[in-house]
Amino acid sequence: MIDTHCHLCDKRFDKDRPQVLDRARHAGVTHLVEIAYAPAIVPRAHDLARAHPTLFLCVGVHPSETARVSESYRATLRDHARHARVVAIGETGLDFYRAGPPRADQERWFRAQIALADELGLPLVIHQRAALEDTLAILEETRPAAGGVLHCFDDGPAAAERAARLGFWLGIGGCLTYGHAALEEAVREAPADRLVLETDSPYLEPEPRSLKRNEPGLLPRVLRQLSRLRGWGPAEADRVTTANARALFRLPLEDGSAAASGWA
């Protein structure tokens, strides 16, 4: 399995990060994409990737960070995004769930990251909360060339269909285990080649939500629910979603060696 969206630099992993990565490996998670969504996180994410050749990076400015990040960071972000281990831009998008940065700041950075992704030929990792229509409208206007993924997808078939028309994948995580009927229908009906697994660790622990923290080693909980909804065996679900993640992020996984590390 590939965890296409995690936050292992989060302080909640400071006490046991090596053990978390060990548990992920034992659970069958072979590769991960760490989301460095703010300037302060990028150095820590690079340190983590340097120590773990099977971990790749996504760099960007989260909607919640947009009022704090200066325009001068655009050039720095471009430099970060050119690193060999960086496989995507984001997470970026819009978040209107609660009072936060002004819409103008969020949209400016959203559009800037779409432009950067197009410039570098990278996919986008999209965050949206209480902003699905606005987010999809911008994506339908700009048509990002390399597509991307709707992270933490939690909507119905209509949204999934619009995503597919844009060349976007659906990031399927813990929400799939929460009993959301529209999401379950979307996952049953979506093209098989548009589904990827994620945890969003340390957030959104899959049911039975007993640990108070999510981590990549819990990804099999999501895989089991995906298998049930699609009528797949676990091995088939693993094969399909792993192939999809490799296609989305163009991951060089032929060997697990330093050839893919970017620091070799």
What is the rounded distance in angstroms from the CA atom of residue 13 to the CA atom of residue 16? Answer: 6
* Residue among 151, 173, 160, 155 at smallest CA distance from 225: 173
CA distance linking residue 248 with residue 99, whole number of Å: 32
* 259 confidence band (pLDDT: 50, 70, 90): very low
What value does the mean pLDDT of the chain take? 95
Q: Examine the pLDDT at 261 and tell me if it is beyond 80.
A: no
At residue 210, the pLDDT reads 87
Compare 85 and 211 and report the one with higher pLDDT.
Answer: 85
| Mean pLDDT across 65-86 | 96
The single-letter DSSP state of residue 260 is G
- Domains of the chain, by residue range, sit at 2-247
What is the rounded CA–CA span in Å between residue 201 and residue 180?
A: 20
pLDDT, tens digit, 9 for 90 and up, residues 39-51 = 999 999 999 999 9
Instruction: Say what the pLDDT of residue 254 is.
Output: 55
Give the tokens for residue 239.
């094969």
Distance CA 3, CA 214 (A): 12
pLDDT at 99: 82
CATH of domain 2-247: 3.20.20.140
Q: Residue 124: enclosing H or E segment and its boundaries? A: strand 124-129
- For residue 20, the one-letter residue type is V
